[in-house]
Chain A
Amino acid sequence: MIFFFILLVLVTTAQIAEFFIPPIDWMYHAHIYIAPVIVFYGAVALPFPLMLALALFAGIILDALTVQVIGSKVEISMGWSILLYAVLAGIMHGLRPLFVRGRWEVHCILTGICTSAIILAQYLMITFRRGSLFFSPEVWWQIGGPGLIAMLMAPPVFLILHWIARLTRYPYLPEKGHFE
């Protein structure tokens, strides 16, 4: 439980830190997202109910800090990020047995893919609102770039979180009767 609360604090800190990290110019202004990496680690490390709670918390924070309210219109309504996080974290959670056995590489790659999936979903939602769907190289870079960065960040971040988990004596045990 201590580890879960640490993850909540880290997600909040990462979300705030993202405001101060400038986008990468040579990657068509691709942004660096740290919070999804932590959430997806939580998705494989935590049991199902806590994974849902973490996705809920991260989604609320993300929506609260990014949703655009213009006049009487909300571009992407509150709650969509929660749903996105929950679905993607659910997919990651399905691979938890592999993670418990110490195989992390799939999760690192999936973290990148899921980060890009969040940005792609946001793009599709705003396009649905604003019209004119197009996929230029800039769009692909802005979607794929953060995913690539997340993929690269995942191993060290996972290692640090794993170390914190060991410090807090968090047991990476599969849920009873679920995976065994």
Chain B
Amino acid sequence: MSRTSIIALLIFGAILGYFLSFGAETTRNFQAQVYQWLAPFFSTGSGLQKQITSVRTGLKSLEELERENAALQVDNRQLKATNQALRDVEHEVNRLRHALNYRERSVFKLVPAEIVTRDSSTWWHTVTINRGKEDKIESDMPVVTDEGLVGKTTTVSQTISVVLLVTDENCKVAASVEGTREQGIVSGERVSGGLTPVLNLNFLTKQANLQPGQKAYTSGVGGVFPSGLVIGTVKSFRLRELDGQATLAPAVDMTHLEDVFVVTGRK
């Protein structure tokens, strides 16, 4: 091995040792800094992705229209395309109005946020949102939609934050089940087999006997999540050696999330 290679290896070892010595706080700060540097690229990428998706949707509906109305003339098709575009705008307005209504009637102080990116890794379920310290967002703040619980913030930079989704195995939420005195801990799965992820409600009593359709809410134990937020609906219940376990369908469809709210406190 040449002298240059040995020197390079030594420098590499020193830098590696420096990074391996990082504690949780240092890692969080470093991560926040990197996210902050890359925030403009994430925002641009998110915008581009939305444009591409909308163009693709437009083309698809045109194809459908062509199939259904082969006899129609070009003008007619253009009108229909315009109509479709207006319907998209109407859908957007309805969605935002819905979100605004939720924000107004909610008992929490909510900061609206948009999903910028979705998880890029295999084992962790996270999304990034376009709100950060500038909007008074901190770590461990609950993230919700009008449908229910989404997750909690972890790394927060100035303008961008990472949200750990409730479907991640590491996101543990104290929960209670409607109509019962049952309490347990909800967590996601390490590997989801189906198209939609499921949640596990663990540490229930063996007598719980939960029925499909019962709703699970946050119990407020633990301090991060306020009580009363819908987590999901019971799909099945099974007895284990020491306790009972229920499988829940998440209240929020994580694959189609667009807008969320960060709970910054109570009104």
Please give the distance in Å from B27's CB to the nearest CB on chain A.
5
Q: Are B45 and A48 in contact (CB under 8 A)?
A: no
Q: In the complex, are the beta carbons of B5 and A68 less than 8 A apart?
A: no
With A68-B170, A78-B22 as contacts: A56 and B15 at CB distance below 8 Å: yes
Task: Please pick, from A17, A48, A66, the residue contacting B121 in the complex, using a CB distance under 8 A.
Answer: A66
Q: Enumerate A125-166 residues with CB–CB distance to B below 8 Å.
A: 126-127, 130, 136, 138-139, 142-143, 146
Write the chain B residue with the least CB distance to A135.
B191
From 83 to 135 in chain B, residues with beta carbon under 8 angstroms from any chain A beta carbon are: 117-124, 126, 128
Complex interface: chain B residues within 8 A of A63 (CB): 19
Q: Bound complex: CA of A23 vs CA of B193, how far in Å?
A: 13
Q: Does B9 contact A (CB under 8 A)?
A: yes
Bitwise, B1-35 to A at CB < 8 A (1) or not (0) is 11011011100100111011011110110110011
Q: Is the CB of A78 within 8 A of B27?
A: yes
Q: B120 to A138, Cβ gap below 8 A?
A: no
**Which residue in chain A gives the minimum CB-CB distance to B192?**
A29
Q: A52 near B34 (CB under 8 angstroms)? A: no
Contacts of A142 in B (CB 8 A): 122, 191
Contact of B16 among A17, A20, A21, A56 (CB under 8 A): A56
Establish whether residues A68 and B154, one from each chain, have CB atoms under 8 Å apart when the complex forms.
yes
Interface residue tally for chain B (C-beta within 8 Å): 51
A69 lies within 8 A of B154 (CB): yes
B19 contacts A82, C-beta separation under 8 Å: yes
**In the bound complex, CA of A149 to CA of B192 (Å):** 20
Tell me if A97 is interfacial: C-beta within 8 Å of chain B.
no
On whether A70 and B164 interact (CB within 8 A), knowing A52-B8, A78-B22, A126-B190, the answer reads yes
Docked pose: A138 CA to B15 CA in angstroms: 36
CA distance A75 to B140 in the complex (A): 16
Contacting pair A49 B8 (CB below 8 A): yes
Verify if B46 is at the interface (C-beta below 8 Å from A). Answer: yes
Q: Are B28 and A86 in contact (CB under 8 A)?
A: no
Q: Which residues of B contact A169 (CB under 8 A)?
A: none
0 or 1 for each of B178-198: is its CB under 8 Å from A? (1 = yes): 000000000000111101000
Given contacts A67-B27, A126-B190, 15 further A-B contacts (CB under 8 A): A31-B121, A49-B7, A49-B8, A52-B12, A66-B120, A68-B164, A69-B27, A69-B154, A77-B22, A78-B30, A86-B16, A122-B121, A139-B191, A142-B191, A175-B5
Please list the 8 inter-chain residue pairs (A to B) with the smallest Cβ-Cβ separation, ordered nearest first: A49-B8, A79-B19, A64-B34, A19-B117, A79-B20, A18-B120, A19-B120, A78-B22
